[in-house]
Structure 1
């Protein structure tokens, strides 16, 4: 039966996950070795670790390779027809490339990005994607959620991997809605994890390190939402708390957010909202200060792995700062002290870098340009390519229109990250399809979700690319 975007539903999606699991199990029983290829962000690393753990339990030999972008050049580094290959959190937007590979019948793609519809029939491997069943991969299930469903279909005992799927979904910002909670397939996975005693759901202030860090450090560590003048600034966070009469110490001991009374939390929230509004932060963004918190009950208290948001930030930090292997090791269960100490160091470096980049863009009008239908962020010479998408996500929260950020890569290409508000996506502005279409027209590659996407294009075509993208966005807005 021909696959088309929009067919089926949740039950059919689960049935497809069982078919893909059988595809993988057959090759494991035949003695194939596997290559798992994943993206370097939190969702990608979580996805890779989930499939890695599942294959380990099948006693199937495997290796995990982490990519920042799937294109023909990177594919040559990771693919061989002599190994079964599982692409996780990527692949659906590259079916044109994968379909042409020798041995494509031994490739599995577990992804949640919008697929290239024209190549669905041509691709001869296994393909699991929520968009093929009428589900939204940008809001209802992450790449790690797709990987988890396959892992659980391989063996029901893999339910213990459900926390990683929640970490990946939170890292992919799929809880970024009015209620700041996971919905759809993600919510079902949360429920499974909670029923298995692996996770606890609470409603609280969404400040990182709520159980692990002194309040002022936790406040300064919070990047989403970004708090201008406080995120990344521990001394200013301390001064802010002092100004609103919230003691940061109880005797000689630092207090955490979890130590605050309900009255103190309310005072903190009210003052944060007022402060952020005074700094020009959109009201919708201030409302994201409260939401569901996902606590991993089997993880040790007072570590960054206890809270899914902090765990996701840690994985993002490892991937974005060039240490994806460290993130994979933690996600697959390495809890050695030296490993955790190294990840905390990387996480602190990541947060500091992000805070400087965000403030640097906000304070420089030549880098943050209101171009009518869109906001353009020029990161050339300032924003490293591996941090571009994170910067775009944080900045886009303050604008009611699409945001296009770009910077140069080490090899002279231009990397683009684009975001559009959910209301515009629902009205027909599909930024993933726009990125894919325009990138291809200028000799690059692109794609993603309806609300978040990216592209890699030749530097000589940057002007043409931006002009076409802005034109298509304008047309989509007019039609909507």
Structure 2
């Protein structure tokens, strides 16, 4: 690999990781269940398969005390953790087996014994410049340069974690330039118009979420009629005039519902087309994400490894996932967000898809001057998701630190990125958590 582009300490850590894996016949891989985690697991699985290793994949919705106990109780001489682990380095360090962690979330502790690679350790922002799939891919090409084709799967993870939204940065640029040079990736201009058949894709669209159109068949029909576009048309069949008119109408509707200019700009982001997959990175990321969200991450990992039957099944699952997410978003649109002084929140106990809905609400429904919090209190432990905007980060908001503090104060745990974090706490103390978080965010804004 190019040591003039990649930090030398990172290359040393990756070489150590390769040496550890080469010393074992079986590796147990633990990863996150979202698009980034599934792509990271797929990349590692394909790499291990090509190297003649046996392996097992386990996906978690988060790494918490319960799941940490699962790792402790599953004996293995070699463990790899991808897109997870930053908040449990001390506990992983205490285990006796060989462990490799490839994560990108905010660093909380330095590793003393295990092999730990994280962009933050090398002065690179893991929120914008290298995700779990990025780190998994760098490990893959450290194992063999013959794994460069897996850069396409890595880009699905980059897109799934939205690290391409405002342009590629850091480690992701290395992947892009290498993928472009080898012909695996092509770039295309972005658009507010979703790909595929417009009448169905606009109905299920949450990026953007267009009030009165998304989830509204009559609203979709009226929008297409206003643009003079036939009901059965696909995005690829639009004339330039039709494309321009439909884009303008969507932009007007988004402005009318208070969508920020930053979000409007992000909607026209560059797309990355994947040669061997015949789709762009966002589409592949969405397919794999749908599998994880529906609790069928194994299908997602197999699809990410290139299994055509699982890829077809993933497409079916994505439609189910999108439909359920739309139902949750419409319910939240109807009921609205609860407003506190510095945050806004909603109860997702009956909605589900907390993280997904939280992100949609932050961009297209809520007050852009307040972070958005979603809480699922359907069990004894409340599961929490939070989202902010880059504008809020510029004002001092750090959700990773805020959730860590607010959750810990009520007997829970939390962390992640400054712009998007998660956590958990006892459900009966969730109101206390919200009060703590509101105060912490207020302090961040004041300072």
Is residue 58 of structure 1 aligned with residue 47 of structure 2? no
Give RMSD over aligned pairs.
2.0
Q: Which moved more, 1:22-31 or 1:86-95?
A: 22-31
Distance change >3 Å, CA 227–CA 33, structure 1 → 2? same
C-alpha displacement of 1:206: 4.4
Is residue 120 of structure 1 aligned with residue 110 of structure 2? yes
TM-score (norm 1): 0.87
C-alpha displacement of 1:332: 0.6
Match of 1:360 in 2: 331
Match of 1:4 in 2: none
**SS, match of residue 375 in structure 2:** strand
Deviations 1:271-315 (CA, angstroms, capped at 9, x unpaired): 111122233433433333312111112224xxxxx1211111111
Contact 2:40–2:154 under 8 Å retained in 1: yes
Distance change >3 Å, CA 101–CA 442, structure 1 → 2? farther
Residues of 2 paired with 1:97 and 1:444: CA distance?
16
Contact 2:42–2:305 under 8 Å retained in 1: yes
Q: Which of 44, 61, 77 is 1:83 aligned to?
A: 77
Contact 2:193–2:247 under 8 Å retained in 1: no
Matches within 5 A, 1:169-248: 169-177=158-166, 181-208=167-194, 210=195, 213-248=196-231
C-alpha displacement of 1:218: 2.6
Matches within 5 A, 1:124-163: 124-163=113-152
Contact 2:165–2:269 under 8 Å retained in 1: no
Distance change >3 Å, CA 370–CA 376, structure 1 → 2? same
Residues of 2 paired with 1:438 and 1:13: CA distance?
36
Contact 2:10–2:122 under 8 Å retained in 1: no
Match of 2:305 in 1: 332
Match of 1:294 in 2: 272
**SS, match of residue 87 in structure 1:** strand
Match of 1:273 in 2: 251
C-alpha displacement of 1:12: 8.2
Match of 1:473 in 2: 441
Contact 1:20–1:108 under 8 Å retained in 2: no
Residues of 2 paired with 1:349 and 1:420: CA distance?
27
Match of 1:96 in 2: 90
Count of residue pairs brought into register by the alignment: 441
Deviations 1:158-188 (CA, angstroms, capped at 9, x unpaired): 11111111110111112333xxx33332233
Residues of 2 paired with 1:54 and 1:17: CA distance?
19
Residues of 2 paired with 1:35 and 1:431: CA distance?
31
Distance change >3 Å, CA 430–CA 296, structure 1 → 2? same
Distance change >3 Å, CA 188–CA 82, structure 1 → 2? closer
**SS, match of residue 291 in structure 1:** coil
C-alpha displacement of 1:219: 2.2
Matches within 5 A, 1:302-317: 306-317=279-290
